[in-house]
Amino acid sequence: MSAVDGQLGFSKQLAAHGTPIPGVVLFDLPVYGDNRGWFKENWQREKMATLGLPDFGPVQNNISFNATAGTTRGIHAEPWDKFISVATGRVFGAWVDLREGPSFGAVFTAELDPSTAIFVPRGVGNAFQTLEDGTAYTYLVNDHWSAAAQGEYTFLNLADETAAIAWPIPLDRAELSEKDRAHPRLADVTPMQPKKILVLGADGQLGKALRAEYDGAAHLEFAARGEFDLADPASYADRNWKDYSAVVNAAAYTAVDAAETPQGRRTAWAVNVAAVAQLARIAVEHRLTLVHVSSDYVFDGAEALHTEDEPFSPLGVYGQTKAAGDAVASVAPRHYIVRTSWVIGEGTNFVATMADLARRGIEPSVVEDQIGRPTFTADLAAGIRHLLEGNAPYGTYNLTGAGPEASWADIAADVFAAAGTDPARVHRVSTAEYFAGRAAAPRPLRSTLDLAKITATGFHPTPWTDRLHDRPLAEEEGDAAG
């Protein structure tokens, strides 16, 4: 065995190790050598992604050469992710979480040589001290460096007493820049804010529920139609997409019957498909998570229970555009397609309408052969947040209210009863009877969505019956609808 063998430990297997800082992952790298020297796979996307390294999309490779032992650099938190390793020599590395959140100030240290590497996410402060002369320190980053980007850095003093980093070579004997000596202590550091989440369709029922769910969180940005027109190319071009981590598409054309008309058909395809394709392209180019809200209308209702992997079988134009939108949204590697049904939220909706009719003594005719589960927007918003924050695998998830399936007539009767009105005043009719003599789009008769996949991630929607009975139906709903 050569001296190089002993220093680097050629017996190492590729392995990942968690650290006290969320998202910071230390890697053991296999190094292969003989009497001529050594070789390693410094970054291997497929193998490392399998071990949990984010597919962070590096675009630039930097190398810092340090002539003498004791050279010390940092602590700098940059607005991008980086994968750090050593080409030759050894360093003592120190990382401090400078992101806003409960782990702010958490510290991790380790010695790096060519057989180790570390992934450091955006906002985690990075510093190192060379332990050998002629050390080359290399890092991959997923954004292009620019002088302007330095204005987005967050800094911490190397000698901060709270971090209490045990530098192998005391800082008074180390080689530091004057800039690094002047960085603030932790108490004076402004934490790096998370990237923003952009919510489109902010004034719709789901948009309003997302406002309530996030309750003024600074990293949420809400854009209504006047602020982001899905049909206007300028809306996409005028954004600095590097500032965002995710886009929630809560906007859609939902006029089911109007979609069957010539103008409605064009608008439905523009909003539900062409705009989604634009968002998917942006998500791919900027490594964003795309949350896209889908519909039970992508199915024909032939199955009693719809799973996420059921093939599309839409009956009408609206369903066809939603199915096409799902297909293009799935092109984004980081996507959540949230399929829902019978949405009820703030503003005009079926429950509010029925409560108003009950209050006014009107006896409505309501279809009894369409079966499904309503979705209150509070659950839909909470489920979207769960997917974004809970590291659920990307893909399609059904999300409706839990509880028993019911017909529209059953729900109407429940509303009448909750409003103190005889539920028998709801007249039950078939879909064919209800739409007789009127132009109407075809509707799926069975809309119950299987919730097993999303509940397996740890999210449990509230039974829709509980949501219904929590609402002040007797007066407030009626007044709002009236």
Q: Where are the domains of the chain?
A: 3-188, 196-481
Phi-psi category of 12—alpha, beta or left, where left has phi over 0 and alpha has psi -120 to 50? beta
Distance CA 133, CA 70 (A): 8
Structure token pair of residue 383 = 């489920």
The residues carrying an active-site annotation are 76, 139
Given a contact cutoff of 8 angstroms between Cβ atoms, the answer to whether 192 and 99 are in contact is yes
pLDDT along the chain (482 residues), means of 10: 46 90 95 86 92 90 94 95 95 97 96 96 96 95 82 92 96 94 96 94 94 92 91 89 94 95 96 96 95 97 96 97 98 96 91 94 96 96 96 95 96 94 96 92 96 97 91 39 22
pLDDT of residue 11: 64
pLDDT of residue 291: 98
Q: Dmax over Cα atoms in the chain, in whole Å?
A: 93
pLDDT of residue 3: 38
In the numeric block, the tokens 């820049």 are attached to: 177
Q: Say yes or no: domain 3-188 is CATH 2.60.120.10.
A: yes
Q: How far is CA 463 from each of CA 392, 404, 405, rounded to the nearest angstrom? A: 22, 8, 10
Q: Say yes or no: domain 196-481 is CATH 3.40.50.720.
A: yes
pLDDT of residue 10: 58
Domains 3-188 and 196-481 share a fold: no
- pTM of the predicted model as reported, rounded to 2 decimal places: 0.85
